[in-house]
């Protein structure tokens, strides 16, 4: 019966997880195509150092150490999870123990020590978030679901560790009572002395029930976590690795050129342009109005965001009380992608945009229009506050780039809508007339003729 229940639960969880992760992939691919290939050696180096090695986390030592405890415990616990899956499918117990011997004892003992450290780290994070109220963890954009989400994961971690020690502790006692059905794990680092101390006086039947409760608790937390992950900021556990791999390798100060603008500038300077002029008679749109105008890498950034707030904590605009929060920008892009993806999946033609009175039978990303855009999520005040200093890009532990979508949205506002803050207009005029941001009576290059 346990095998049947296990296989059913595992199959249902896998099915729902696949559906949700497929939706996330489709939402990410709503963005424009962008080439993030090239120099695979440098990209893999980033993955090893930044994603696996947590290199950028250690710019802030205290949370980095505790995060490392949970991170390493998570990696090692997967070994025990593999054994649990094998045990659940084939109805065996401690499948690896007879084959690995002393190595098995070392592995499980390491998992127990790491789990204990992860337990300490979990309490520390709950304290920092709910009692100490670290400033970057209590910003307004975290009110409601984001705050609850963080606490749900931490509580899940407590249940997971409880399941591990309950299972191992009861099992260590049962090994003395019924060695035939409970293979020896050797002397485990924690359970070998905690188990007898806590469960030593229990009857065999109660011990078996306790061991099964711990086993099922561990399993159910893992299955619940897999199902819950697509709705959580902890999606970064998986997406951090592709996000780091596909991050830009160019200098952080290098901004993306717009081919159409480059063509016009070259034409004005009498330089032959390799960008063909537009032949459809329509004026091009510059920058980004909605997620369709961002690249898939920008949307991947948004789904990878850990909501840790390191970007906002170092943002000079945010520090000085302005409305901009780079973390909120990424959260807003993710929320908009979720909204658009859900509407497209519904197939409701009320979201379809007709063109030339042509009847539309299928709703797609190409004809989608719900009358909203990213500007309904991100205010212009936030965009204008950005100083393009790249502090947020430097601070992000998983190499997210909040600056790129900010620049794209500002470009849309200024170049496509001919809008923008009135204070900026003199600068643009001066650049156009004199090639300098300051309003000068002569052209910036005039001094060369005098020389």
* pLDDT score at 46: 96
Residue 205 structure tokens: 């039947």
Give the whole-angstrom CA distance, residue 343 versus residue 179: 57
| pLDDT for 69 beyond 90 | yes
CATH architecture of the domain with residue range 285-419: Orthogonal Bundle (1.10)
Give the whole-angstrom CA distance, residue 29 versus residue 33: 8
Residue 99 burial by CB count (10 A; 0-12/13-18/19+): exposed, middle or buried?
A: exposed
Each residue of 295-321: pLDDT tens digit? 999 999 999 999 999 999 999 999 999
Least confident of 88-92, 324-328, 392-396, 427-431: 427-431
280-307: average pLDDT? 90
CB 67 within 8 A of CB 57: yes
Each residue of 429-451: pLDDT tens digit? 887 777 778 777 676 667 778 88
Residue 244 structure tokens: 């780091």
| pLDDT for 187 beyond 80 | yes
CB 221 within 8 A of CB 115: no
How far is the CA of 304 from the CAs of 7, 149, 171, 252, 402, in angstroms? Answer: 31, 15, 39, 19, 12
CB 233 within 8 A of CB 22: no
Give the whole-angstrom CA distance, residue 230 versus residue 11: 17
Beta carbons within 8 Å of 110's beta carbon, 6+ residues apart: 76, 189
71-80: average pLDDT? 91
pLDDT band for 280, please (50, 70, 90 cuts): low
Q: If we measure between CA atoms, which residue out of 89, 114, 109 comes closest to residue 97?
A: 109
Helical spans, DSSP H, in 91-144: 97-100, 102-127
Give the whole-angstrom CA distance, residue 80 versus residue 340: 39
* pLDDT score at 56: 94
Beta carbons within 8 Å of 86's beta carbon, 6+ residues apart: 92, 95, 96
| pLDDT for 279 beyond 60 | no
Cα 1 to its chain centre, rounded Å, is 38
**Helix count and strand count (H, E) for the chain:** 19, 0
User: DSSP letters of 362-404?
Assistant: S--SSSB--S--GGGTS-HHHHHH-----HHHHH-TT---SHH
Angle at 342 between CA 337 and CA 344, to 5 degrees: 95
Residue 39 burial by CB count (10 A; 0-12/13-18/19+): exposed, middle or buried?
A: exposed
Question: 267-275: long-range contacts (C-beta < 8 A, 24 or more apart)?
Answer: none
Each residue of 3-32: pLDDT tens digit? 999 999 999 999 999 999 999 999 999 999
CB 47 within 8 A of CB 245: yes
Beta carbons within 8 Å of 440's beta carbon, 6+ residues apart: 430, 434
Question: 348-355: long-range contacts (C-beta < 8 A, 24 or more apart)?
Answer: none
Chain position carrying tokens 């990696």: 75
Alpha-carbon radius of gyration of the chain: 28
* pLDDT score at 275: 65
Bigger pLDDT: 72 or 440? 72
pLDDT band for 160, please (50, 70, 90 cuts): very high
How do the domains of the chain map onto residue ranges?
A: 2-245, 252-283, 285-419, 421-451
């Amino acid at each position: 019966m346990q095998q049947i229940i296990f296989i059913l639960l595992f199959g249902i969880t896998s099915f729902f997880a696949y559906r949700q992760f497929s939706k996330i992939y489709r939402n990410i691919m709503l963005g424009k195509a962008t080439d993030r290939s090239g120099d695979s050696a440098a990209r893999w180096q980033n993955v090893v150092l930044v994603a696996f090695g947590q290199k950028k986390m250690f710019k802030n030592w205290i949370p980095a150490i505790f995060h490392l405890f949970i991170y390493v415990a998570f990696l090692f616990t997967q070994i025990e999870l593999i054994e649990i899956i094998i045990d659940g499918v084939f109805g065996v117990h401690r499948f690896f123990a007879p084959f690995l011997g002393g190595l098995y004892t070392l592995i499980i003992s390491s998992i127990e020590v790491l789990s204990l450290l992860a337990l300490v780290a979990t309490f520390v994070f709950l304290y920092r978030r709910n009692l100490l109220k670290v400033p970057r963890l209590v910003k307004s954009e975290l009110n409601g679901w984001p705050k609850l989400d963080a606490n749900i994961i931490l509580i899940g971690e407590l249940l997971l560790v409880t399941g591990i020690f309950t299972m191992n502790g009861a099992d260590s006692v049962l090994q003395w009572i019924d060695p035939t059905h409970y293979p020896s794990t050797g002397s485990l680092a924690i359970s070998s002395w905690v188990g007898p101390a806590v469960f030593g006086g229990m009857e065999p039947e109660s011990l078996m029930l306790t061991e099964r409760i711990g086993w099922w608790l561990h399993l159910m937390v893992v299955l619940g976590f897999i199902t819950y992950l697509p709705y959580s900021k902890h999606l970064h556990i998986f997406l951090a690795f592709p996000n780091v791999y596909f991050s830009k390798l160019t200098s952080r100060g290098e901004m993306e050129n717009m081919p159409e603008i480059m063509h016009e500038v070259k034409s004005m300077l009498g330089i032959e342009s390799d960008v063909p002029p537009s032949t459809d008679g329509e004026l091009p749109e510059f920058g980004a109005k909605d997620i369709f105008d961002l690249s898939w890498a920008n949307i991947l950034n948004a789904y990878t965001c850990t909501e840790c707030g390191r970007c906002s904590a170092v943002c000079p605009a945010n520090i000085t009380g302005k409305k901009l929060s780079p973390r909120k920008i990424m959260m807003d892009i993710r929320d908009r992608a979720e909204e658009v993806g859900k509407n497209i999946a519904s197939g409701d033609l009320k979201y379809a945009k007709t063109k030339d009175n042509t009847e539309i039978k299928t709703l797609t990303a190409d004809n989608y229009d719900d009358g909203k855009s990213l500007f309904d999520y991100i205010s212009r005040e936030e965009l204008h506050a950005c100083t393009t200093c790249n502090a947020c890009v430097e601070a992000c532990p998983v190499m997210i780039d909040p600056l790129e979508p900010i620049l794209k949205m500002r470009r849309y506002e200024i170049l496509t809508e001919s809008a923008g803050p009135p204070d900026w207009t003199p600068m643009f005029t001066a650049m156009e007339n004199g090639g300098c941001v300051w309003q000068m009576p002569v052209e910036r290059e005039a001094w060369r003729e005098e020389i």
